[in-house]
Amino acid sequence: MVKDAKDRDYQSHQERELPIYVPEVLIFETPDEVDAYAASRVIRQITTHPASSLTVPTGNTPTGMYERLVAANSNGEVDFSQATFINLDEYYPISPDHPSSYTEYMKRNFTGRVKVGEWHIPNGAAPDPESEARRYADLLAQRQPIDLAVIGIGPGTTCHIGFNEKGSSIDSGVRYAPLASETQAVNAQLFDDPAEIPAGTLTQGIADILGARQILLLAKGPSKAWGINRTLKGLISSDAPASFLRHHPRVTFALDKESARYIR
Ligand code: F6R
């Protein structure tokens, strides 16, 4: 019998005997409480280690976290001027000044509003995605170790982290990655003309995310409920890339109760 990709994956991880950990799962009553917790983790990291390096996400989920970080900076609670922020991903191809690019998102929500030490994001307009991926991988390598990776999770059944869609390997690094059609359908709503959504992204790989000392995954709302349960309770496999997080010893899932509602 021919084994499907899921079985092969499972076997190869079993053979490598990667340890499996039980992530910390925090379930909050409201999305606001998820934002407050996420901001408090970032603030704690940077106030105790001002020159920290953080991997950071975009999307709907972290906007409340960024809002709180900007407020904390303006009231003097935290200073980001020695910290390094490295984005997970950018659409490809896209002009950095396109209003729906993640570059613009970051400027609007965070880096255009506070003083940061360094900020990096892939160039969605680079002529060659492979050389841009290599440049970003080198940049990431020079800033190791990443102290904290804050990430989201894809909608529906995608279970993507970064834009590592189904089929992504645990060993994957920075690369061009096509968007799954399920992701495309959801994210197209964030474009004035949904047909304008790019076909792919430049994304950190699973190995890059797992390389961080600590990982904080944020999820809110019912569209994440299936994926959260699949990630925490299903088989660890590239069929649900977020499930690879269970091979990392220091992961926190900060969830609102809607996204946690299917956890068995
Ligand atoms: C974005 C990213 C993605 C998103 C995910 C959820 O930088 O890496 O994995 O975190 O698609 O997006 P939202 O938060 O819009 O539901």
3-state class of 143 per DSSP? coil
Q: Which atom of ligand 1 is nearest to the CA of 162?
A: 8
Question: Looking at the predicted structure, is the pLDDT value of residue 8 above 90?
Answer: no
Distance 188 CA to ligand 1 centre (A): 13
Q: What is the pLDDT of residues 18-75, one digit of tens each?
A: 999 999 999 999 999 999 999 999 999 999 999 999 999 999 999 999 999 999 999 9
Residue 258 pLDDT: 98
Distance 238 CA to ligand 1 centre (A): 18
Question: Looking at the predicted structure, is the pLDDT value of residue 16 above 90?
Answer: no
- Write down the mean pLDDT value for the chain: 95
Q: How confident is residue 14, by pLDDT bands cut at 50, 70 and 90?
A: low
Strands (E), 40-108: 53-56, 84-87, 89-92
As a whole number of angstroms, the distance between CA 231 and CA 87 comes to 22
Mean pLDDT of 126-133: 98
Q: What is the pLDDT of residues 91-111, one digit of tens each?
A: 999 999 999 999 999 999 999
Question: Looking at the predicted structure, is the pLDDT value of residue 11 above 80?
Answer: no
Question: Looking at the predicted structure, is the pLDDT value of residue 164 above 70?
Answer: yes
Question: Looking at the predicted structure, is the pLDDT value of residue 163 above 60?
Answer: yes
pTM recorded for the entire structure: 0.95
Q: How confident is residue 206, by pLDDT bands cut at 50, 70 and 90?
A: very high
155 lines ligand 1 (CB under 6 A): yes
Which residue of 63, 111, 161, 245 sits with most ligand 1 atoms within 8 Å of its CB, as the best mutation to test the pocket?
A: 161
Measured CA distances, 139 to 119, 135, 254 (Å):
11, 6, 28
Q: Inter-axis angle of helices 63-74 and 31-48, to 10 degrees?
A: 50
Residue 3 pLDDT: 42
160 lines ligand 1 (CB under 6 A): yes
Cα atoms in the 13 Å half-sphere on the side-chain side of 73: 22
Q: What is the pLDDT of residues 211-258, one digit of tens each?
A: 999 999 999 999 999 999 999 999 999 999 999 999 999 999 999 999
